[in-house]
Homo-oligomer: A and B are copies of this chain.
């Protein structure tokens, strides 16, 4: 059943995630509640009655994206390869041959938002289809380092201001890339005329269209919205999905009657929850995972085939597939696939001075906005016993942090950190009388 609405959604998944380092999986493929982000986005569009999609991919993610999307029923999808990651304009141009005269909705997989953003857009278009474009605007009092829409009283857009400094926002309307273009050919014309290949060609084209008199309308959206630009934003996206959970425990699970599963928790099939474990919602546990004895798991997402071993606390963290933990503390952290942590590894998540965690990305210091942020660990990493990772540290994929290492700096990909412990070996002058020990034993647990 494909809807009659002759309108298509173009999802721009051809970019790369430089700023997402050390999380190298394409953000559209990150799983939330067991599904890749792109599937969530398509399902949101379906909910609003949109069933036709163009997905712009790149050579690295095409296979995974096809496999993630083709299993979604009742949609028609075309895939286009964007050869180089040259931004949104280039991505739309790459799909130009597929673009019909019918309206087109441009969506950036950076953004996590409710289906209501689509339906608001569509009802505005249905009410008055005379605008060249309809741009979803997130109304928020908080500053966001992105584009702001300047509008008149009728919400007609007069200007787009990219990244105004904090305090200089021209409005409280942040531009979310959920843009309905009534005539995509017009957009293509403007894009073709832009000279530069800079990151913001698409936005500048929109601005030029406005200035040339093509009317655009801001469609105000007051729902939840989370951009995924930096890896810690994965936690925000996780919160978005966790807050929408309804409790669902697969009948194919084994949950000890000495365990507690409380609140809005999804537990998929073949999960084991052992004695003494406590799982507090909202949380998600992917299939084939084990929540070991005395584990405390709260406000977190765990992927498939993970073992959250004995005596581990996972708090407000995103954990990929195939991870093994063991007597760890993992708080406010993002852990890729196939990681394993030695017993006693702790991820610190709070500075002594309780200041916001600041991280260097591409030579710039970026305030994460979090005062509680643990580590960001790429896929295939391991840590040794009693290792310590400081707040906000990023560990590149396939890197090992040795036993007893206290890692306070970022680590690249494919690295191994080895402690150089210093100790002296001396003769042991103390010989304990066995009798003393035996006496102590009599007192037993002391």
Contact = CB atoms under 8 A, between A and B. Distances in A.
Interface of A: 258, 260, 272, 274-276, 278, 288, 290, 292-294, 296, 305, 307, 309-311, 313, 322, 326-327, 329, 338, 342-344, 346-348, 352-354, 372, 380, 382, 384-386, 388, 390, 398-400, 402-408, 411, 414-432, 434, 436-438, 441, 444-446
12 contacts: A272-B445, A276-B278, A293-B294, A307-B441, A322-B434, A326-B329, A327-B329, A352-B400, A415-B428, A418-B426, A420-B422, A422-B422
Contacts of A382: 352
Nearest to A401: B423
Contacts of A429: 416
A388 B344 CA distance: 9
A432 B390 contact: no
A425 B419 CA distance: 9
Given A388-B404, A416-B426, A417-B425, 16 more contacts: A258-B258, A276-B278, A293-B294, A294-B294, A307-B444, A307-B445, A310-B313, A327-B329, A338-B437, A344-B346, A344-B386, A344-B388, A346-B386, A380-B432, A400-B430, A405-B421
Contacts of A434: 322, 338
Contacts of A305: 438, 441
Contacts of A260: 258, 275
Nearest to A379: B434
Given A343-B329, A423-B420, A322 B441 contact: yes
Contact of A421 (B293, B294, B415, B419): B419
Contacts of A274: 278, 445
A385 B415 contact: no
A20 to B, nearest CB: 21
Given A344-B386, A348-B384, A386-B344, A338 B432 contact: yes
B344 A329 contact: yes
Contacts of A346: 327, 342-344, 385-386
Contact of A430 (B313, B353, B411, B425): B353
A390 to B, nearest CB: 7
A390 B417 contact: no
A399 B428 contact: yes
A336 to B, nearest CB: 12
A429 to B, nearest CB: 8
A419 B403 contact: no
Contacts of A353: 430, 432
A111 to B, nearest CB: 27
Nearest to A298: B445
A255 to B, nearest CB: 14
Nearest to A330: B343
B292 A445 contact: yes
A279 to B, nearest CB: 11
Nearest to A372: B446
A425 B445 contact: no
A423 B400 contact: no
Given A342-B346, A424-B418, A388 B385 contact: yes
A400 B427 CA distance: 10
Contacts of A444: 272, 290, 307
Contacts of A384: 348, 352, 388
Contacts of A414: 427-428
A434 to B, nearest CB: 6
Contacts of A327: 313, 329, 346
A209 to B, nearest CB: 47
B421 A416 contact: no
A398 B402 CA distance: 28
Nearest to A409: B425
Nearest to A382: B352
